[in-house]
Amino acid sequence: MKHFASLIVETIIKNRDLRKPAERRRIGIIESWVSLLGNTILALFKLLFGLLTNSLALIADAAHSASDIFSSLVVLIGFIMAGKKADSEHPHGHGRTEYLAGLIIGLMLTGAGGSFIYSAYSRLSEDIFANPSIASMIMVVVVIILKELMYHFSARLGQLIDSDTLEADAWHHRSDSLSSGLVLVALAGGYFGFYSLDALLGIAIALFIIYTGFKIMRRSYSKLLGAAPNYELQQGVVKCVREVDGVIDAHRLEIHDYGSWKVITIHIEVNGHLSLEEAHDIAHQVENHVSSKYHCNTIVHLDPAEKLSSQE
């Protein structure tokens, strides 16, 4: 399955320079459309079989897949907005729209999970049971296989363009396949006479949906407030700066995240005996080197190394 997904990815990226922002947006949009269409089809099939078999677990799982439709829309909007030019009111672009949409999706997920817990409780108290069939169980197995394929497809693309957004979307696919596994257990239990298993696992899936909702809200809220970037990115930027000839050291790094666009500010230490023109040339090289690698706006502040050493 992983090998098959890799073959599809290799076909998409063949002879493409993924370092270019336009190519990065292209990959993001392709992934989001594949996820959007796949999640829509699978959610409809789950809902149909859930209604036919009166399975709360399957209907709850359909809602989980429907939530993945919204997450795919977030990815699509994020990459489309990333291509929109900055304006006077939004000098750093519109990339944070993605985080706002994520916050809304998280709220919707928690609400949906709560409603399914109430439905499951009602079923248990009123002895309302599902009527599973072999066909419905086969359908769930097919869903799990397709979801795993979508996971490997999205995860591989996310790795290639270094996108946390695509990797997060990939884990939405993986979480959906796991919840579908619980549904399969519930349907099998009902088929063999363990009728309450459907409602009980419906509650388990609902709790998982609520957990996912809170997790999405926390991440989106944190990024809207300007959360610090990950350690690997910070170390990568400092290493990139030190690769430029004439840079003695670098410190006071600040990275402002605007979705697909970032603003990086960093202080570099250079020989204090250099002329203004020579020092400026080094700063300019650093800006170009960092901006070309991370596709960002880079601001460099010069510090004479000798002065810093005398202050220690």
Dump pLDDT digits (tens) for 268-280. 999 888 888 999 9
Q: Rounded to 5, what percent of the chain is helix, strand, coil? A: 70, 10, 20
Cβ atoms of 173 and 68 within 8 Å: the answer is yes
If you ran DSSP here, which 8-state letter would residue 296 be given? S
Tally of CA atoms within 13 A in the half-sphere of 14 that contains its CB: 6
In the chain, the amino acid numbered 123 is: R
pLDDT band at 312 (very low <50, low <70, confident <90, very high): very low
311 has a pLDDT exceeding 60:
no
Helix (H, G, I), strand (E, B) or coil at 300: strand
pLDDT recorded at residue 21: 66
Mention every residue, 6+ apart, whose C-beta is less than 8 A from residue 37: none
> Do 231-311 and 2-224 fall under one CATH topology?
no
DSSP 88: S
Confirm if 285 and 298 have CB atoms less than 8 A apart.
Answer: no
Contacts of 9 (CB under 8 A, 6+ apart): 153, 156, 157, 160
* Contact present, 9 and 157 (Cβ < 8 Å): yes
Average pLDDT of the chain is 79
Give the pLDDT score at 283: 93
Distance, CA of 294 to CA of 292 (rounded, Å): 6
For residue 229, pLDDT beyond 80? no
pLDDT at 265: 92
If one compares 149 and 312, the residue with the highest pLDDT of the two is: 149
CATH number for the domain formed by residue range(s) 2-224: 1.20.1510.10
Asked whether the predicted pLDDT for residue 52 surpasses 70, the reply is yes
The percentage of residues in the chain with a pLDDT greater than 70, rounded to a whole number, is: 86
For residue 310, is pLDDT > 70? no
Least-confidence region, from 69-73, 91-95, 110-114, 247-251: 91-95
pLDDT at 131: 66
Distances (CA, A) of 195 to 35, 189, 236: 33, 7, 54
Pair 75, 32: CB distance under 8 Å: yes
Mean pLDDT over residues 21-44, rounded?
86
Question: In terms of Cα–Cα distance, which of 51, 53, 44 is closest to 133?
Answer: 53
- Tens-place pLDDT, residues 152-189: 988 888 888 777 677 777 877 777 777 777 777 777 87
Q: How far apart are CA 8 and CA 160, in angstroms?
A: 13
According to the model, what pLDDT value does residue 40 have?
A: 92
Q: Residue 228: pLDDT band by 50, 70, 90 thresholds?
A: confident
Q: Which pLDDT belongs to residue 309?
A: 47
User: Who has greater pLDDT, 228 or 62?
Assistant: 62
* For the ranges 64-78, 192-206, 238-252, the one whose mean pLDDT is highest: 238-252
Q: Which fold has domain 231-311?
A: Alpha-Beta Plaits (3.30.70)
| Tokens found for residue 108 | 């919707």
Distances (CA, A) of 208 to 36, 69, 154, 178, 180: 21, 17, 21, 10, 12
Collapsing DSSP to helix, strand or coil, 254 comes out as strand
Beta strands of the chain (E only): which ranges?
249-258, 261-270, 297-304
Distance CA 223, CA 216 (A): 11
Q: Locate 274 and state its tokens.
A: 């250099």
So where are the chain's domains? 2-224, 231-311
CA distance 168 to 226: 19
User: Which pLDDT does position 128 carry in this prediction?
Assistant: 54
Residue 267 above 90 pLDDT? Answer: yes
78-89 per-position pLDDT tens digit = 777 766 776 777
Output the pTM of the full model. 0.65
